[in-house]
């Protein structure tokens, strides 16, 4: 007799048996890059809100889903993405935004950019449950070996780029994209996939990169066969990260804005929103697919408010590159037909972290979230399982009074209290329309608008979400307790020597026709069935 086990979780239509993958939901993750708190129009409903931001598709998804009001990330890109893919807090996987060409030959586990080599990726876990795993867009979590790439981390296919950013039209790495001269003197192109090979077929066409990415995602959705397992799809937008580039027809829609950076940001935000709508419509067009799909949207960090960028986090304090709320409290929601009707249109205020999704999705898939391959010397998977919070009667999850989030070496959140220490950049508040022409913006190199929290500052982020009132002098025992706890937690941080930019990466890029990609352990790549072939399907 063959037993078919179906496990109901929290009494909802939520099955987690690997024996019947047809009962598992499709999971689609949409990641916005540098999307500020005011980067969605549903955060601009109060008087004085930024009416220039237009995101009707994101607004509708949030309104028919669950807004995650206290969803925390790292203050910049690579650590947040490494955290999501590995299930570790950034302090336990990667807190550096180094270039993917770095290498430390003396450390074969952590001597690279991004995720440690032996850590198991989220897509590997989902694949073990029968999910069909695909990724599109920005990676920024490692490139040195085939094991560091999305396909090496468990994705069946990936079309995207490895660096923090590239040019939206040429896919190169000009100074305006990465802000520096890299080890390869900004030569070569960064676009890879869908197989383990350069994406040469897309380069030189003059197409806008986000259009290439959207078409690839539409292809994945259209080709998905539910009988082969549910879909696990990550679409990581380049938008709205610099460089500020967008098709002219979108830019013209915002020609009434008198500041060029703000105009570009509004147009790029609109383009992202339209792409989201197109992706959701494709899911809805397939019979019964949307009804069994969970959609997660989150921003990898707050909006970049420094010069050359155009983000805004009003009314929150600060922005990307800081631990103020504008840098680490990210826009997020879950939506889709899989969200229980009773939960739709609600807002959750429980503390959440981007690392939680590893354990949560493993729970949905019915697989053990424990990473058995990473080795005893590496930090274990962090986070909590959010399924009861999202799908059950629990409205707060881990009580906010007791949950602790180790945000960074400098910042700890415990319940309503946030302790912030050290020198913080981007210290200040922007107006509802920003950037504008009324004064200088902070700079990225060097980081400015700095403030030294040398004695430790304390904020009640629920009562004072804009961090206007340092209450450290009112609660000295809380400050001392949290400072001691932060010191204790920092002893467990994972801080390997990542190494230095390796010129061999440039030599290999030249061999690959001028495309960045893995340059170490390439025999492992050649042994795979994927080889170096190009998939030209759309």
Domains of the chain: 26-399+497-527 (3.40.720.10)
Q: What is the pLDDT of residue 78?
A: 98
Span 174-183, average pLDDT: 94
CA-CA distance, 33 to 479, in Å (whole number)? 33
Cα distances (angstroms) measured from residue 63 to each of 32, 59, 277, 333, 395: 18, 6, 14, 9, 17
Average pLDDT over residues 224-240: 97
C-alpha–C-alpha distance, residues 386 and 357, integer Å: 8
Confidence tier at 402 by pLDDT (50, 70, 90): confident
Output the average pLDDT for the chain: 92
Q: How confident is the model at residue 23 (pLDDT cuts 50, 70, 90)?
A: confident
Of 77 and 531, which is predicted with more confidence?
77
Quote the pLDDT of residue 393.
67
| Burial bucket for residue 222 (CB in 10 Å: 0-12, 13-18, 19+) | exposed
pLDDT over 60 at 296, yes or no: yes
d(CA 282, CA 269): 20
pLDDT band at 377 (very low <50, low <70, confident <90, very high): confident
Higher-pLDDT residue of 438 and 131 is 131
The pair of structure tokens assigned to 271 is 């383009």
Mean pLDDT of 277-298: 97
Confidence of residue 9 (pLDDT cuts 50, 70, 90): very low
Q: Is the pLDDT assigned to residue 450 strictly greater than 70?
A: yes
Task: Provide mean pLDDT across the span 432-438.
Answer: 93
Within 13 Å of residue 189, how many CA atoms lie on the same side as its CB?
22
Report the pLDDT value the prediction gives residue 47, as an integer from 0 to 100.
Answer: 61
Look at the block and give the residue holding tokens 């037993």: 3
Reply yes or no on whether the pLDDT at 383 is more than 50. Answer: yes
Over residues 425-453, mean pLDDT: 94
Residue 533 pLDDT more than 70? Answer: no
3 pLDDT more than 70? no
Residue 424 has pLDDT above 50, yes or no: yes
Give the mean pLDDT of 262-270: 97
Looking at 122-131, 167-176, 435-444, which range is the least confident one?
A: 435-444
pLDDT band at 401 (very low <50, low <70, confident <90, very high): low
Q: Residue 508: CA atoms inside 13 Å, Cβ hemisphere, count?
A: 18
- pLDDT score, position 524: 54
At residue 21, the pLDDT reads 61
Per-residue pLDDT at 400 exceeds 50: no
Highest mean pLDDT among 123-132, 387-396, 400-409: 123-132
Q: What is the pLDDT of residue 532?
A: 35
Q: How far apart are CA 144 and CA 521, in angstroms?
A: 8
Instruction: State yes or no: pLDDT of 272 exceeds 80.
Output: yes
Residue 381 has pLDDT above 80, yes or no: yes
Residue 486 has what pLDDT?
98
pLDDT in tens, 343-362: 999 999 999 999 999 999 99
Tens of pLDDT, residue by residue over 208-221, are 999 999 999 999 99
Q: What is the mean pLDDT of residues 286-313?
A: 97
- pTM of full prediction above 0.85: yes
pLDDT per residue over 504-528, tens digit each? Answer: 999 999 999 999 999 999 975 544 4
- pLDDT band of residue 376 (cuts 50, 70, 90) is confident
Distance CA 11, CA 392 (A): 7
> Measured between alpha carbons, how far is 268 from 419 in angstroms, rounded to an integer?
34
pLDDT at 399: 43
CB 38, CB 331: distance < 8 Å: no
Q: How confident is the model at residue 535 (pLDDT cuts 50, 70, 90)?
A: very low
Q: How confident is the model at residue 479 (pLDDT cuts 50, 70, 90)?
A: very high
Residue 1 has pLDDT above 60, yes or no: no
Q: How far apart are alpha carbons 407 and 356 in whole angstroms?
A: 13
More confident residue, 527 or 267: 267
Contacts of 37 (CB under 8 A, 6+ apart): 43, 302, 303, 312, 313, 314, 316, 326, 329, 331
DSSP string, 30-86: EEESS--GGGSGGG--STT--TT---HHHHHHHHTSEEETTEE--SSHHHHHHHHHH
- 3-class DSSP assignment, residue 294: strand
> Which of 81-90, 103-112, 518-527 is predicted with the least confidence, judged by mean pLDDT?
518-527
């Amino acid at each position: 007799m063959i037993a078919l086990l179906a496990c109901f979780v929290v009494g909802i239509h939520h099955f987690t048996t690997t024996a019947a993958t047809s009962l598992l939901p499709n999971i689609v993750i949409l990641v916005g890059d540098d999307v500020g708190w005011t980067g969605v129009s549903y955060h601009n409903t109060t008087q004085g809100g930024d009416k220039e931001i237009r995101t009707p598709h994101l607004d509708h998804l949030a309104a028919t889903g669950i807004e995650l009001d206290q969803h925390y990330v790292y203050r910049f890109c690579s650590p947040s993405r490494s955290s999501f893919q590995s299930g570790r807090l950034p302090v336990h996987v990667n807190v550096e935004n180094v270039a993917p060409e770095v290498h430390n030959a003396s450390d074969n586990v952590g001597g690279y950019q991004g995720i440690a080599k032996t850590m198991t990726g989220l897509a590997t876990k989902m694949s073990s449950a029968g999910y069909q795993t695909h990724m599109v867009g920005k990676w920024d979590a490692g490139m040195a070996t085939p094991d560091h790439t999305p396909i090496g981390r468990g994705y069946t296919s990936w079309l995207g780029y490895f660096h923090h950013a590239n040019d939206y039209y040429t896919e190169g790495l000009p100074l305006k994209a990465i802000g520096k001269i890299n080890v390869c003197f900004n030569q070569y192109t960064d676009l890879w996939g869908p197989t383990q090979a350069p994406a040469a077929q897309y380069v030189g066409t003059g197409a806008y990169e986000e259009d290439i990415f959207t078409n690839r995602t539409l292809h994945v959705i259209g080709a998905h066969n539910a009988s082969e397992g549910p879909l696990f799809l990550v679409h990581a937008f380049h938008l709205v990260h610099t460089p500020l580039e967008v098709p002219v027809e979108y830019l013209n829609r915002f020609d009434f804005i008198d500041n060029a950076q703000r105009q570009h940001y509004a147009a790029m935000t609109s383009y992202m929103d339209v792409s989201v709508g197109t992706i959701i419509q494709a899911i809805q067009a397939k019979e019964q697919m949307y009804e069994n799909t969970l959609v997660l949207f989150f921003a990898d960090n707050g909006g970049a408010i420094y010069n050359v960028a155009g983000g805004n986090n009003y009314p929150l304090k600060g922005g990307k590159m800081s631990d103020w709320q504008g840098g680490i409290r990210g826009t997020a929601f879950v939506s889709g037909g899989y969200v229980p009707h009773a939960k739709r249109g609600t807002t959750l205020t429980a503390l959440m972290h981007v690392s939680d999704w590893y354990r949560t999705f493993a729970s949905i898939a019915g697989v053990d979230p424990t990473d058995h391959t990473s080795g005893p010397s590496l930090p274990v998977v962090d986070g909590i399982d959010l399924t009861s919070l999202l799908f059950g009667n629990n409205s707060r999850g881990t009580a906010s009074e007791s949950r602790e989030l180790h945000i960074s070496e400098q910042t700890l959140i415990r319940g309503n209290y946030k302790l912030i220490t050290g020198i913080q950049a981007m210290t200040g508040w922007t107006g509802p329309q920003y950037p504008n022409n009324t004064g200088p913006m902070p700079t990225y190199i060097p980081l400015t608008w700095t403030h030294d929290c040398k004695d430790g500052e304390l904020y009640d982020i629920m009562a004072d979400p804009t961090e206007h009132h340092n209450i450290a002098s009112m609660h000295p025992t809380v400050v001392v307790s949290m400072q001691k706890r932060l010191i204790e937690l920092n002893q467990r941080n994972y801080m390997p020597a990542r190494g230095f930019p390796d010129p061999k990466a440039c030599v290999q890029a030249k061999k690959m026709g001028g495309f960045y990609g893995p340059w170490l352990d390439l025999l492992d790549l050649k042994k795979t069935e994927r080889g170096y072939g190009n998939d030209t399907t759309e």
